[in-house]
C-alpha cells in the first residue's frame, strides 16, 4: 500500500510538471504501457495472499484510472497552452498601416487624347479610326495631293509597296469618313491615330507620332464655326483664359487654310521663352474642306460645306506639361511616366 501511495504521489507530480506532449506520452508509456509500472504491480499480485489480492487489485485499478485522468487533463492543458502560444505568435496587428499597391498612371498622350475626345463627344461628335497601313488614294489623292506633289516626296513617306504606305497624317481618316458618309450631312467626327513620317528622330521630330483630326460637314458650315470650335478646344487644353488667332496658311485639302495660334499659357500672352516672346504658340492647322475634296468623296460642294483641323498630340502634351524632348513619350522610362501621377 505504501508503495502505491508513493507511486501515486510521484506519478502525479511528474504528470503535473510535464510541459510538453512528447514527454507526457513517455510518462504514459512508463506507467500505463505493457511494460509499465502498473503492469509491474499487477504481476506482484501473485505474491500476495488470497485475502489481500482483491483490495490491492482495486487500488491498482484506481491508481490506473487516476493516472489516466491526470494524463488526459494534462494533455488538454498542454494542448490549450500550445494553441494559445501559437495564436499569440501569429497575431496580426490590424492597426498597422497597409502596403499600398503600386498604381500606374495614364500615359500623357493617352490623357491628352482622352481629354480632347471627351470634349468633342460632349459636343455631339463621334470617334472614328482608320488603318495605319493606308492606300495612297486616301492619304494623298483624295486629300487633293496629286501625283508628283512635293508632299508625297519619298523623303517624307514610308512606302510599303505600290499603292500602300504608312499614313502620314490623320487626314487619311478624314477622306475615308467623307467617302463613308457622302452625300449625307451633317457629319461630326474626331479621328485620332498614329501617323508616320520618314523623319530623323530628334528632340522635336519622331518617325511616329499622334494626330487628332476633326471634321464637320453640313449645310452652311462656316469658318466662324471652326473658330468657335477651336477656341473651345484651346481653352480645354490650355485653360479658360486662352484665346486663339488664325493666320493664313496653305494645305492642299482646305481652302482657305489657316495656322492656328493659341495665346501663350505660360506668360498669358506677354511674351516669354516658350512663345519666343510673341505671346502666341502655333498649335494646329485647319481650314474649310476644299470643294474638290468634297467632290471626290461624293458631296455636292454647292449644297454642303465643312471645316477640318489636325492637331499633333505630342506637341500639345509638350507645351502643356513643359516637356522638352518628344522622345520621352516613347522611351517608357518609368521615372518620366511617374511624374504624371500628380495629374490623376
Residues that bind ligand DAH (CB under 6 A): 169, 171, 174, 213, 251, 254, 285-287, 308-310
Strand partners, 260: 246, 284
Strand order in 126-127's β-sheet? 126-127, 187-196, 208-218, 305-312, 280-289, 254-263, 244-251
Give min distance, CB of 258 to ligand DAH, in A: 8
Is the Cβ of residue 251 or residue 280 nearer to ligand DAH in the bound state? 251
Cβ nearer to ligand DAH, comparing 27 with 143: 143
> Which CB atom, from 68 or from 117, has the smaller least distance to ligand DAH?
117
**How near is the Cβ of 340 to ligand DAH at its closest, in Å?**
26
Q: Which is nearer to ligand DAH, 70 or 284 (CB)?
A: 284
Q: Are strands 133-135 and 159-161 parallel, antiparallel or unpaired?
A: unpaired
Supply 76's cell numbers: 488538454
Residue nearest to ligand DAH (CB): 310
Give 70 or 187: the residue with its C-beta nearer to ligand DAH.
187
Q: Collect all residues with Cβ–Cβ distance below 8 Å to 12 and sequence separation of at least 6.
A: 66, 67, 70
Q: Kindly state the smallest distance separating residue 173's Cβ from ligand DAH, in Å.
A: 10
Question: Is 285 within 8 Å of 249 (Cβ atoms)?
Answer: yes
List Cβ<8 Å contacts ≥24 apart for 147-150: 149/252
Nearer to ligand DAH, 56 or 299 (CB): 299
Best CA proximity match to 298, nearest among 142, 128, 105: 142
Cis-peptide, bond into residue 137, ω within 30° of zero: no
- Beta strand 164-166 pairing with 159-161: antiparallel
To ligand DAH, the closest distance from the beta carbon of 195 in angstroms equals 7
Strand order in the sheet with 133-135: 133-135, 164-166, 159-161
Whole-angstrom distance, CA of residue 29 vs CA of residue 17: 16
Q: How far is the CB of 205 from ligand DAH (least distance, A)?
A: 13
CA gap 213, 120 in Å, rounded = 11
Q: Considering the complex, state which of residue 152 and residue 169 has its C-beta at the smaller distance from ligand DAH.
A: 169
**Nearer to ligand DAH by C-beta: 200 or 344?**
200
Q: 482622352: which residue's cell?
A: 114
Minimum CB separation from ligand DAH for residue 308, in Å? 3
- Shortest reach from residue 168's CB to ligand DAH, in Å: 7
Spatial CA neighbour of 230 closest among 171, 288, 183, 182:
288
Smallest distance, ligand DAH to C-beta of residue 315, A: 11
Amino acid at each position: 500500500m505504501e508503495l502505491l501511495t508513493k507511486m501515486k504521489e510521484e506519478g502525479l507530480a511528474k504528470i503535473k510538471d510535464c510541459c510538453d506532449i512528447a514527454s507526457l506520452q513517455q510518462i504514459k508509456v512508463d506507467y500505463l504501457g505493457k511494460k509499465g509500472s502498473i503492469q509491474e504491480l499487477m504481476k506482484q499480485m501473485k505474491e500476495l495472499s488470497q485475502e489481500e489480492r482483491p483490495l490491492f487489485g482495486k487500488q491498482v485499478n484506481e491508481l490506473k484510472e487516476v493516472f489516466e485522468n491526470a494524463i488526459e487533463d494534462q494533455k488538454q492543458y498542454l494542448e490549450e497552452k500550445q494553441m494559445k502560444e501559437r495564436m499569440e505568435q501569429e497575431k496580426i496587428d490590424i492597426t498597422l498601416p497597409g502596403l499600398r499597391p503600386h498604381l500606374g498612371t495614364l500615359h500623357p498622350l493617352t490623357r491628352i487624347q482622352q481629354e480632347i475626345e471627351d470634349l468633342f463627344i460632349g459636343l455631339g461628335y463621334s470617334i472614328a479610326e482608320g488603318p495605319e497601313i493606308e492606300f495612297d488614294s486616301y492619304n494623298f489623292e483624295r486629300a487633293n495631293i496629286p501625283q508628283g506633289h512635293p508632299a508625297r516626296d519619298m523623303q517624307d513617306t514610308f512606302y510599303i509597296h505600290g499603292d500602300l504606305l504608312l499614313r502620314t497624317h490623320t487626314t487619311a481618316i478624314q477622306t475615308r469618313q467623307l467617302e463613308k458618309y457622302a452625300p449625307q450631312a451633317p457629319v461630326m467626327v474626331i479621328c485620332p491615330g498614329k501617323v508616320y513620317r520618314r523623319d530623323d528622330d530628334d528632340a522635336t521630330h519622331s518617325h511616329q507620332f499622334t494626330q487628332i483630326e476633326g471634321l464637320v460637314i453640313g449645310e452652311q458650315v462656316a469658318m466662324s464655326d471652326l473658330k468657335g470650335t477651336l477656341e473651345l478646344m484651346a481653352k480645354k487644353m490650355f485653360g479658360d483664359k486662352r484665346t486663339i488667332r488664325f493666320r493664313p496658311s496653305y494645305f492642299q485639302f482646305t481652302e482657305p487654310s489657316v495656322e492656328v495660334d493659341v495665346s501663350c499659357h505660360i506668360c498669358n500672352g506677354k511674351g516669354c521663352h516658350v512663345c519666343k516672346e510673341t505671346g502666341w504658340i502655333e498649335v494646329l492647322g485647319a481650314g474649310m474642306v476644299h470643294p474638290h475634296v468634297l467632290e471626290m468623296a461624293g458631296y455636292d460642294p454647292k449644297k454642303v460645306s465643312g471645316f477640318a483641323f489636325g492637331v499633333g498630340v505630342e506637341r500639345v502634351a509638350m507645351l502643356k506639361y513643359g516637356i522638352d524632348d518628344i522622345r520621352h513619350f516613347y522611351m517608357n522610362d518609368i521615372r518620366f511616366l511617374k511624374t504624371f501621377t500628380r495629374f490623376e
